[in-house]
């Protein structure tokens, strides 16, 4: 093995320079046997030129502790989620709790997990054969391992139904339980809405929230040295009372929070069927429980219950932000006469909403539109609760919420927070301690709504993380009222725009995986700082805001403060554009917030909705293209029409190779039937969505290409049939 290891390390250094040297050092450490459950016998099979790129990506860094924890691909190595990285993270949390609460002997935590199971759908480890230690590793099995480590450190771990291998606990219920059980914190084994071969671990504090800087840095520092992992076998820990079942009555109390919030706002009982999909996650235990308790006529697709492979979800992307994710649920709703689809992601903290329009089409609400509907209903709707109090949002969430609060009066808003619900939770903690926040001094009990653009809300201060339940509850109820009036939620939203102004928001992401992707993200952010744009489209940039500017925003309080503050904002008279790297996903995110006077016309009704979205989209496209040019990349219209969940390298490959090959195949008549052409196309684009059918992802660009080619060469064989397929 020594010779093979030396050759691999030499190749790493040769190909990747300084980063390769770091990867080689970590590889040697993992092969040494010094780390727990590192599987050196499996890593030996990675050695050799054929796998050097995989080895580099698995070892070039230690999987970062991002927004409250670690999230990434399951695999072997330091830059992967596996038993080793989990064990060191949890042991670090134990050490942190012991060091900060050294006088306590009865430390307790809550351990939650979602449904995901690693099956290597991408075939990354096909060279290892049909059986190796990571296959079948689930959030549940990682949760049990976490319980064993807490128990080994004398810390009691509460978990859902210890004797049930399929038990789950959602993110919002975890947040609730931490305070309800009086524990010192908790962990969640979940990768939220990521693909099924990803996983993660998030750390929660005693408030039921994720720590922010500098507290998270203290945790990171302790974790860095947590290689001496202590554990106790699960069954023994259970017998000794160091692993305990979450009391069943606590779930009923969680549901009671929202039943009290609902407060019989709609009578008589609702009659219009509500389709809800947990997107193969564990949302039936929270969203489902609340809706059923309130008597809504609930319809749930049979194949979209708990499934760690997300088999029924297009692209295996269980994300309420992705319109394609709920296509099977919409088909189900059509078949059952339902005109609304509500959804939540696998850990049930994000909410999704689609409604059926009179023409039979479905409209997808983005997170900002959902926040606007909820805030308006709660505060300004003449038939709503007419609540007054506190609204909280991040700096990239829709500005229409401020208009709602101003119109309501006797209320206040905090809308300058960095991205991430942990900052919302921090405000609630400050208010609870009586510290106030930048002049706002009120009780957390005055909270009306906290919302973010990525489909998350809080409505009760007892829960300090996103929760899809209250959003689904109110949206379902409002749908009932509007349906009885012959209206719908889109009509309702358009009326909000007509009253408060033509606000809109378009968010885009440039997905760039691996070390090269991270370097590209860094290049783009550095370029923006070195050469800020003076204008965006026809609009002059009036203010350029860099949250790394310590003169304006204060010194960094820790190294962990740098990533969330890696935010650049460009303000014009017509819109605000914000760019930041994601803290949990391999993406560079851009947010375009359209202000109501941007090209204002006399549009009303659907025309207003269309006009503001076109203006926001055009701005987002311009910024997207400019960001790519800063790394010497250009995408044409076809590549830009691919979903943002597709990696940039795959978008480029589609434009540079697949499109040309498709045009050549059409011209030559190589495929006599549409079905054979689509089979070829399916194979060509398969890398875009490993383990699932990627064809739906290319429908939009194929439709655009067909329209272009029909003008240039209308008699291409199969062109009309391909166009009809793409438009279907």
Task: For 579-603, write each residue's pLDDT tens digit.
Answer: 999 877 789 999 999 999 755 567 8
pLDDT (average), residues 329-346: 98
CA gap 276, 284 in Å, rounded: 9
How confident is the model at residue 251, as a pLDDT? Answer: 97
Q: What are phi and psi of 297, to 5 degrees?
A: -75, 90
Query: Among residues 283, 89, 114, which one has the least CA distance to residue 190?
Result: 114
What is the 3-state composition of the chain as percent helix, strand, coil, each rounded to the nearest 5?
45, 15, 40
CB crowding 651-660: b at 16 or more within 10 Å, else e: bebbbeebbe
Here the CATH number for the domain that contains residue 406 is 3.40.120.10
Cα 390 to Cα 116: distance, rounded to the nearest angstrom: 36
Q: Is residue 105 very low, low, confident or very high in pLDDT (cuts 50, 70, 90)?
A: confident
Q: Are residues 480 and 455 in the same domain?
A: yes
Please check whether residue 386 is in contact with residue 379, taking contact to mean a CB–CB distance below 8 angstroms: yes
d(CA 210, CA 173): 14
237 occurs within a structural domain = yes
pLDDT grade, residue 297 (50/70/90)?
very high
Looking at the structure, do residues 240 and 118 belong to the same domain, yes or no?
Answer: yes
Confidence of residue 271 (pLDDT cuts 50, 70, 90): confident
DSSP string for residues in 69-99: EEEEEBSSSTTSBSHHHHHHHHHHHHHHHHH
By the 8 A CB rule, do 187 and 111 touch?
yes
- pLDDT-derived band at 345 (thresholds 50, 70, 90) equals very high
Domain-located, residue 483? yes
Residue 104 confidence class, pLDDT cut points 50, 70, 90: confident
Tell whether the model's pLDDT for residue 622 goes beyond 60.
yes
Assigned domain for 301 exists: no
User: Going by C-beta distance under 8 Å and a sequence separation of 6 or more, which residues neighbour residue 416?
Assistant: 395, 438
Q: Which residues contact 177 (CB under 8 A, 6 or more apart)?
A: 110, 158, 169, 183, 186, 208, 246, 250, 254
The C-alpha atoms of residue 203 and residue 89 are separated, in whole angstroms, by 9
Residue 655 has pLDDT above 60, yes or no: yes
Residue 354 lies in a domain: yes
Of 12-16, 527-531, 669-673, where does mean pLDDT reach its minimum?
669-673
Least Cα distance to 576 among 499, 498, 503, 501 occurs for 503
* End-of-domain residue from the set 35, 60, 85: 60
Tokens 């499109």 belong to which residue?
659
Does residue 236 sit in the same domain as residue 366?
Answer: no
- Tell whether 528 and 543 lie within a shared domain: yes
Q: Tell me if 333 is assigned to some domain.
A: yes
Q: Are 684 and 711 contained in the same domain?
A: yes
Asked whether residue 293 is domain-assigned, the answer is: no
Report the pLDDT value the prediction gives residue 486, as an integer from 0 to 100. Answer: 94
Q: Looking at the structure, tell me whether residues 677 and 579 fall in a common domain.
A: no
Tens digits of residue pLDDT in 149-164: 999 999 999 999 999 9
Are residues 376 and 232 part of one domain?
no
pLDDT at 338 over 70: yes
User: Is pLDDT at 66 greater than 80 in this prediction?
Assistant: no
CB 351 within 8 A of CB 284: no
Quote the radius of gyration of the chain (alpha carbons, Å): 26
The range of the structural domain enclosing residue 55 comes to 1-60
Q: Is the pLDDT of residue 137 over 80?
A: yes
Domain boundary among 194, 221, 246: 246
State whether 676 and 575 are in the same domain.
no
> What are the pLDDT digits (tens) for 21-63?
999 999 999 999 889 899 999 999 999 899 999 999 999 999 9
Which residues on neighbouring strands pair with residue 536, listed in sequence order?
539
Residue 653 lies in a domain: yes
Looking at the fold, whether 51 and 145 belong to one and the same domain comes out as no
Residue 421, phi then psi, degrees to nearest 5: -70, -15
- In the listed set 482, 500, 518, which residue is the last one of a domain according to the structure? 500
Percent of the chain whose predicted confidence (pLDDT) is above 70: 98
Q: Are residues 98 and 228 in the same domain?
A: yes
Residue 517: give its domain's CATH number.
3.30.310.50
Contact 19, 79 (CB under 8 A): no
The neighbour count for residue 39, using CB atoms within 10 Å, is 19
Q: What's the token pair of residue 372?
A: 């606007």
Q: pLDDT of 477-502, one tens digit each?
A: 999 999 999 999 999 999 999 999 99
CA 475 to chain CA centroid, nearest Å? 21
Whether residue 6 has pLDDT greater than 70: yes
Within a domain: residue 219?
yes
Residues comprising the chain, all counted: 728
Separation between Cα atoms, residue 60 and residue 458, nearest integer Å: 37
Angle, nearest 10°, between helix axes 699-712 and 659-668?
A: 50
pLDDT greater than 70 at residue 397: yes
Q: Residues 49, 168: one domain?
A: no
Lowest mean pLDDT among 252-256, 258-262, 268-272, 275-279: 268-272
Asked whether residue 114 falls in the same domain as residue 232, the answer is: yes
- Which of 47-61, 95-109, 402-416 is the least confident region? 95-109
pLDDT at residue 626, rounded to an integer: 95
Question: What span, in angstroms and rounded, lies between the C-alpha atoms of 245 and 679?
Answer: 50
pLDDT digits (tens, 9 = 90+) for 211-254: 999 999 988 888 887 879 999 999 999 999 999 999 999 999 99
Domain count, the chain: 5
């Amino acid at each position: 093995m020594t010779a093979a290891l030396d050759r691999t390390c030499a190749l790493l250094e040769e190909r990747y320079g300084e980063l390769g040297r770091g990867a080689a050092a970590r590889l040697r450490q993992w092969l040494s046997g010094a780390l727990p459950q590192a599987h050196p016998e499996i890593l030996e099979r990675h050695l050799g030129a054929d796998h050097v790129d995989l080895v580099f990506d698995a070892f070039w860094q230690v999987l970062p502790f991002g927004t409250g924890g670690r999230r990434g691909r399951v695999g072997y190595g330091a830059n992967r989620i596996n038993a080793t990285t989990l064990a060191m993270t949890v042991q670090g949390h134990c050490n942190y709790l012991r060091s900060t609460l050294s006088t306590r002997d009865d430390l307790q935590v809550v351990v939650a997990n979602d449904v995901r199971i690693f099956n290597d759908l991408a075939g990354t480890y096909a060279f290892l054969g049909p059986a190796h230690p990571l296959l079948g590793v689930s959030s549940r099995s990682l949760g049990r391992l976490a319980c064993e480590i807490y128990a080994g450190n004398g810390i009691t771990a509460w978990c859902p139904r210890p004797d049930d291998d399929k038990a789950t606990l959602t993110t919002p219920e975890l947040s609730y339980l931490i305070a309800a059980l009086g524990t010192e914190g908790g962990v969640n084994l979940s990768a939220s809405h990521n693909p099924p071969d990803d996983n993660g671990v998030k750390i929660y504090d005693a408030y039921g929230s994720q720590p922010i800087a500098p507290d998270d840095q203290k945790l990171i520092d302790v974790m860095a040295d947590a290689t001496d992992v202590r554990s106790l076998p699960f069954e023994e820990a259970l017998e000794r009372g160091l692993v305990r079942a979450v009391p069943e009555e606590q779930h009923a109390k969680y549901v009671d929070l929202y039943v009290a919030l609902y407060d019989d706002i709609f009578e008589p009982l609702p009659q219009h069927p509500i389709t809800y999909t947990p997107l193969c996650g564990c949302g039936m235990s929270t969203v489902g429980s609340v809706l059923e308790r309130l008597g809504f006529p609930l319809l749930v697709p049979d194949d979209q219950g708990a499934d760690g492979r997300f088999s029924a979800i297009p692209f295996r992307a269980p994300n309420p932000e992705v319109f394609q994710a709920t296509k099977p649920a919409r088909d189900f709703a059509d078949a059952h006469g339902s005109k609304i689809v509500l959804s939540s992601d696998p850990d049930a903290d994000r909410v999704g909403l689609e409604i059926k329009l009179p023409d039979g089409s479905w409209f997808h609400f983005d997170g900002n539109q959902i926040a606007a509907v909820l805030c308006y209903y709660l505060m300004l709707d003449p038939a709503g609760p007419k609540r007054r109090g506190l609204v909280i949002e991040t700096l990239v969430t829709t500005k229409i919420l401020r208009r709602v609060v101003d119109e309501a009066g006797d209320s206040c808003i905090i809308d300058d927070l960095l991205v991430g619900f942990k900052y919302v939770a921090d405000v609630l903690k400050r208010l609870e301690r009586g510290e106030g926040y930048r002049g706002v001094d009120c009780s957390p009990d005055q909270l009306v709504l906290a919302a973010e653009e990525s489909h998350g809300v809080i409505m009760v201060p007892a829960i300090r993380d996103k929760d899809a339940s209250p959003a689904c509850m109110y949206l379902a109820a409002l749908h009932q009222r509007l349906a009885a009036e012959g209206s719908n939620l889109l009509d309702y939203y358009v009326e909000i725009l007509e009253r408060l102004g033509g606000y809109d928001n378009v968010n885009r992401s440039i997905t760039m995986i691996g070390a090269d992707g991270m370097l590209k993200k860094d290049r783009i952010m550095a370029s923006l700082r070195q050469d800020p744009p003076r204008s965006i489209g026809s609009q002059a940039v009036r203010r350029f805001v860099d949250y790394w500017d310590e003169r304006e925003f204060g010194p960094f309080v820790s190294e962990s403060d740098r990533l969330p503050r890696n935010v650049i904002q460009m303000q014009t008279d017509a819109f605000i554009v914000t760019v930041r790297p994601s803290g949990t996903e391999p993406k560079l995110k851009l947010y375009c917030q359209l202000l109501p006077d941007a090209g204002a016309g006399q549009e009303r009704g659907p025309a207003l909705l269309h006009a503001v979205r076109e203006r926001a989209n055009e701005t987002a496209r311009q910024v997207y293209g400019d960001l790519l040019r800063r790394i010497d990349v250009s995408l044409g219209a076809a590549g830009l029409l691919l979903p943002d969940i597709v990696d940039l390298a795959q978008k480029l490959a589609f434009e540079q190779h697949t499109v040309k090959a498709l045009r050549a195949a059409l011209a030559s008549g190589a495929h006599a039937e549409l079905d054979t052409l689509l089979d070829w196309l399916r194979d060509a684009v398969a890398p875009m969505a490993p383990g699932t059918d990627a064809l739906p992802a290319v429908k939009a660009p194929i439709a655009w290409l067909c329209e272009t080619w029909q003008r240039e060469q209308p008699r291409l064989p199969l062109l009309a049939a391909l166009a009809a397929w793409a438009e279907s």
